[in-house]
Amino acid sequence: MPQPELLKKAVRVLDGAGIRYMLTGSVVSSIQGAPRSSHDVDIAVDLDAVQAGVIERAFPPPEYYVSRSAIEEALKYRRMFNVMENSSGFKVDFWLLKDDPFDQTRFGRRIWATIDGMQVRVSSPEDTILSKLHWAELCGGSEKQFTDVLRVFELQGSKLDLAYINDWVDRLQVRPLWERVQREAEPMG
């Protein structure tokens, strides 16, 4: 199954079950910045055990692989579990919404976007930047994450709420990376 079809299926399942979600990661930075390939789709979800069961049943074997123990662990520790489409290796990473201020704030700021003709909830460009800066910091300065941030910043330019970003870069302790983005950026017209 092609990745766009896997994404559409995941969104249909979430919408059908009334599960609040937000696309994040490289899929979103690709529409807000510069496209790049990835084998996974990242989706932040606000769900309980019953809703997690809906997801598990919607992706049955042998076409898909879903680990029940990974779901249980994700629910217990507010972590991630994934669904993999076995023939392609493409996967959807479901990141459970945490009760920390940034996760709650960015989830509350979700916006609508059209991806492959489908209306979906995605992180705002500001939150895409902040999340990727945070991941870059956690990954020891990941250049892939940094480049995603740079491209979103360059493309979104004057539409960005810089006061919001500047507030959160200090809270997330990523100011040095944010300053590097601003130095290296070549804003697009």
The answer to whether position 189 is within a domain reads no
Judge contact between 106 and 127, C-beta under 8 A. Answer: yes
Q: Are residues 129 and 114 in the same domain?
A: no
| Strand partners of residue 23 | 43, 122
Q: What is the CATH number of the domain that holds 112?
A: 3.30.460.40
> Which stretches of the chain score pLDDT less than 50?
none
Question: What is the count of structural domains for the chain?
Answer: 2
* pLDDT of the residue at 188: 76
Q: Final residue of a domain: which of 106, 122, 138?
A: 122
* pLDDT of the residue at 55: 97
Q: How far apart are CA 142 and CA 2, in angstroms?
A: 27
Q: Are residues 139 and 113 in the same domain?
A: no
Q: How far apart are CA 189 and CA 186, in angstroms?
A: 10
Q: Are residues 116 and 41 in the same domain?
A: yes
Q: Final residue of a domain: which of 122, 153, 175?
A: 122
The answer to whether position 9 is within a domain reads yes
* pLDDT of the residue at 38: 82
Q: Are residues 82 and 147 in the same domain?
A: no
Short-list 179, 100, 175, 136, CA closest to 25: 136
Q: How many residues does the chain have?
A: 189
* pLDDT of the residue at 70: 97
Q: How far apart are CA 41 and CA 151, in angstroms?
A: 19
Q: Are residues 26 and 112 in the same domain?
A: yes
* pLDDT of the residue at 4: 87
DSSP helix/strand/coil, 128: helix
Q: How far apart are CA 173 and CA 170, in angstroms?
A: 5
Q: Are residues 84 and 165 in the same domain?
A: no
Q: How far apart are CA 123 and CA 109, in angstroms?
A: 7
Q: Final residue of a domain: which of 122, 142, 172?
A: 122
User: Which structural domain range is residue 103 located in?
Assistant: 3-122
